[in-house]
Amino acid sequence: GASGSVGTFADGKVEVKKGDMFTLDRDETPGDASRVQLPHPELFEAIEAGSLLLIDDGKMRLKVTEVQSDRIVTEVKVSGTISDRKGVNVPDVLIPIPALTEKDRSDLDYMLELEVDWVALSFVQRPEDVQEAADIIQGRAAIIAKIEKPQAVEKLDEILEVADGVMVARGDLGVELPPEKVPPVQNKIVATARHVGKPVVVATQMLESMISSPTPTRAEVNDVADAIYDGADAVMLSAESAAGQYPVEAVKMMDRIGRAVEADERHHDRVHFTETKPEATTADALAESARGIARTIGAKAMACYTSSGSTARRIVRERPHVPTLVMTASRKVARRLGLLWGAHAVHTRDVENFEEMVGKARRMALRHHIVGAGDRIVIMAGVPFGQSGSTNVIHVVRIKGDELD
Over residues 381-397, the mean pLDDT reads: 78
30 and 163 housed in the same domain: no
CATH of the domain at 42: 2.40.33.10
C-alpha 289: how far from chain center: 28
Considering the domain architecture, whether residues 393 and 251 belong to the same structural domain is answered as no
Q: pLDDT tens, 36-50?
A: 999 988 889 889 999
User: What does the alpha-carbon distance between residue 201 and residue 227 come to, in Å, rounded to a whole number?
Assistant: 9
The count of residues in the chain is: 405
- Per-residue pLDDT tens over the stretch 57-79: 888 999 999 999 999 999 999 99
Handedness of CA 79, 58, 181, 219 (dihedral sign): negative
Q: Is 61 in the same domain as 178?
A: no
Within a domain: 277: no
User: Which of 271, 294, 309 finishes a domain?
Assistant: 271
The 8 Å CB, 24+ separation contacts for 318-323 are: 318/275, 318/278, 318/287, 318/288, 318/290, 318/291, 319/194, 319/231, 319/268, 319/271, 319/272, 319/275, 319/291, 320/290, 320/291, 320/294, 320/295, 321/268, 321/291, 321/294, 321/295, 322/294, 323/370
Does residue 326 have a pLDDT over 90? Answer: yes
Higher pLDDT, 279 or 299: 299
% helix, strand, coil for the chain, step of 5: 40, 25, 40
Beta bridge mates, 63: 52, 75
Residues 175 and 322 in one domain: no
Q: Are the C-beta atoms of residues 202 and 213 closer than 8 Å to each other?
A: no
Q: Does the pLDDT of residue 86 top 70, yes or no?
A: yes
Same domain as 299, residue 157:
no
Q: Looking at residues 27-33, what average pLDDT do you find? A: 96
- Where a domain ends, among 89, 114, 139? 89
Report, as an integer, the average pLDDT of 204-216. Answer: 96
Query: How many whole angstroms separate alpha carbon 303 and alpha carbon 395?
Result: 10
Inter-residue contact 151 to 2 (CB < 8 Å): no
Would 155 be classed as within a structural domain? Answer: yes
Same domain, 200 and 108: yes
Q: How many domains does the structure of the chain reveal?
A: 3
Beta bridge partners of 108: none
Query: Residue 152 has what pLDDT?
Result: 95
Question: Which is nearest to 301 in space by CA: 207, 248, 377?
Answer: 377
**Which of 188-197, 267-276, 303-312 is the least confident region?**
267-276
Rounded Cα distance between 247 and 210, Å, is 8
Mean pLDDT confidence for 107-127: 95
Structural domain contains residue 405: no
403 belongs to a structural domain: no
User: Does any domain span residue 404?
Assistant: no
pLDDT band at 334 (very low <50, low <70, confident <90, very high): very high
Encode pLDDT of 239-269 as tens digits. 999 999 999 999 999 999 999 999 998 888 7
The answer to whether position 161 is within a domain reads yes
Supply the range of the domain harboring residue 47.
Answer: 4-89
- How many of the other CB atoms lie within 10 Å of CB of 374? 10
User: Among the listed ranges 49-53, 86-90, 118-122, which one has the minimum average pLDDT value?
Assistant: 86-90
For residue 353, the model assigns a pLDDT of 85
147 pLDDT exceeds 90? Answer: yes
Helix, coil or strand: residue 241: helix
Q: Based on the number of CB atoms within 10 Å of its own CB, is 30 exposed (0-12), middle (13-18) or buried (19 or more)?
A: middle
pLDDT, the chain, mean: 91
How sure is the predictor about 7, in pLDDT bands with cuts at 50, 70 and 90? very high
Same domain, 267 and 290: no
CA–CA dist 229, 226 (Å, integer): 5
Q: Are both 82 and 219 inside the same structural domain? A: no
Instruction: Kindly indicate the confidence band of residue 278, based on its pLDDT and cuts at 50, 70 and 90.
Output: low
CA atoms of 173 and 228, how far apart (whole Å): 20
Mean pLDDT of 100-118: 93
> Contact at 8 Å (CB) between 10 and 33?
no
Distances (CA, A) of 260 to 109, 263, 358, 404: 40, 5, 33, 32
- Give a yes or no: residue 325 inside a domain: yes
Same domain, 293 and 210: no
pLDDT attached to residue 77: 96
**CATH number, residue 184:** 3.20.20.60
- Which pLDDT does position 386 carry in this prediction? 61
Give the C-alpha separation, 16 to 269, whole Å.
52
- Are 69 and 137 in the same domain? no
| The model's pTM | 0.86
Is the separation of the CB atoms in 268 and 183 below 8 Å? no
| Beta bridge partners of residue 368, listed in sequence order | none
Q: How confident is the model at residue 2 (pLDDT cuts 50, 70, 90)?
A: low
Q: Report DSSP state, residue 183.
A: H
152-197 residue pLDDT tens: 999 999 999 999 999 999 988 988 898 899 999 999 999 999 988 8
Burial of 403 (0-12, 13-18, 19+ CB in 10 A): middle
What pLDDT sits at residue 3?
A: 65
Here the CATH number for the domain that contains residue 369 is: 3.40.1380.20
pLDDT of 274 over the 60 cut: no
Q: Is 259 found in the same domain as 165? A: yes
Which residue blocks in 230-337 are alpha helix, DSSP H? 239-242, 247-263, 267-271, 282-297, 310-317, 331-337
Q: Are residues 147 and 248 in the same domain?
A: yes
Q: Which residue among 271, 295, 318 closes a domain? A: 271
Confirm whether 50 is domain-assigned: yes
